Chain A
Amino acid sequence: MNSKQITDILLAIQASITLLISVRAFYLYSRTRSDALFAIGLSMGVIGLGGICGLIGDTILVSPYFNTLWFRYIGQTVSYLFIYLASLRSLKQYSTQIKQWHIIASALLLVLLFLTPFIPTSSNPTTLAILSASRSVICFVIFLNYADIFMSKETRFSFLMSLAFLLITVGISIYTMKFIVPHSLSFDFVGDSIRVVGLVILLIALFIG
């Protein structure tokens, strides 16, 4: 098994977990109309779609014109941002407006995805590092938020969520190092593996928390 296959397997696992969460969230949303479920469903759906696009780009459509990195990185940053907003108590009263903004942002992301063949591919490592790191910044903010909730409420859900987002933050941060440190394939594997563990904990948090 070569390094590309390992990366693809990790990508497939990540996409499966996020899509599973998305499907479950939308199923429950159809029965409850909970804004929190909508935020989770749409965010995880976009992240999962990014994962599938990454897999397709690595396996079927190997072409410089199918560079989904912009969609994947910006999509994850935006999606995690809306998960963060959904977890803020002070914004619950604005949940309807946030939902509308979430739909608009996701629609724009889809436009970005369809424009992929026309978007110039960037090989500038600094640009890629900034795009990738932006995901870990928002995940770190989510981690801090859940850690704060756990300190006051001590619930299993807040503990698991803080742990999940800590691991996702660390995973993305390590992965981002590959754009800064040359010839460092191990950052790729270690980063993705930690992120998978983080996503598994996120899955557990949502299903049993």
Chain B
Amino acid sequence: MDNHEKLAHASFLRANQQLPVTLTQLLRASVEMNHIDEFLTWLAYLIVRDLNVQVMQFWANQASSTNRTSIVLRATAIQDRSLPSHVVVNARVVEVVEYLLSEQRGAELQHVYGAFPSHQADLLRRYGLNYCFGHFQSNASLLPPLANSHPSDGDIATPFAMIALLFWRQLPFQSVLPTVITILDKVEPAAKQGNLLLPPDTKVGIQSIPSTNVQHQGFQPRSELIPRRVRETEAMRVYSPFTSAAPIQERAALLLYKAIDGRKSLVELAALTQLNAKDMETALRQLVAQNQIQVCDKVGQPINGPWLLE
């Protein structure tokens, strides 16, 4: 057993010992959180951290008022922050997720070559993602639209059908998978308990979903949230600083991006750039959408979900 394996094993043992705590946390967190995406993101980070999973994603169907259904990424957690998002979020991955959702089944733990087309598997392997596992769950409850969707997007509450996709560098220990499945099986009941899912008889339509009301609240950034440039740490190492520094066209977004140094909080940045609340919110949204920045808490853990609007 090499050092990496020992570390993974120790991590797993610790996580396994803490499993009851994790499930208790799950129920408590679902009550404390405001949106299902926030809950899923929190859970994804917990699993990535405690079970030594390299990447974890929650994918789901998203219906719209125009009768279109698309596949959306509800939450993601990545152990290595330098991993480019396009490696695990792209059309090939969406195709596989779409297939699993349509078949209403998961994918057993396997080598990525067994689950993805060879060029996608090559890409995953190049970044050290060698094994994957997909867990399907569905229920009559409804998933509210994405936390960052806009009313004009026309997204509506959608029947709960979700794929949890996990990637590992090395084959996980035998008992890791049952632990993961045990936790994932508790997602839907915990989310229901926290009123993060809507009852099946809810009138489907964006106005009927309480969580979207948050989008009309004023912009009040939490003082402790710190935006960081996503690819800055690996520029000149893994990527060229020329290609990782994609030009930012919007003036406010560029102004904000220039001011982000990985240390200043949102409040400090707002004061420094003298952007008003509306411009600040728009700029943040654009930079996050372009994957230029991620927003971290004060201990440096990236966070997703409705933080922009809190």
A interface vs B, CB < 8 Å? 24-25, 28, 31-37, 39-40, 83, 86-87, 89, 92, 96, 149, 153-155, 157-158, 205-209
Contact = CB atoms under 8 A, between A and B. Distances in A.
B236 interface: yes
B232 interface: yes
Interface string B235-270: 111111111010110000010011001000000000
A170 to B, nearest CB: 22
8 contacts: A28-B242, A34-B245, A40-B236, A92-B233, A153-B82, A154-B127, A206-B240, A209-B242
Given A32-B257, A34-B235, A40 B241 contact: yes
B119 interface: no
A25 B234 CA distance: 16
A157 B240 contact: yes
Contacts of B68: none
Contacts of A40: 236, 241
A49 B238 CA distance: 28
Nearest to B241: A36
Main secondary structure of the interface of A (DSSP, over half): helix
B243 A31 contact: no
Nearest to A30: B258
A187 B90 CA distance: 50
A209 B237 contact: no
B238 A157 contact: yes
Contact of A32 (B237, B239, B248): B248
Contact of B238 (A31, A96, A158): A158
A205 B229 CA distance: 22
A43 B150 CA distance: 45
B115 to A, nearest CB: 21
Nearest to B242: A206
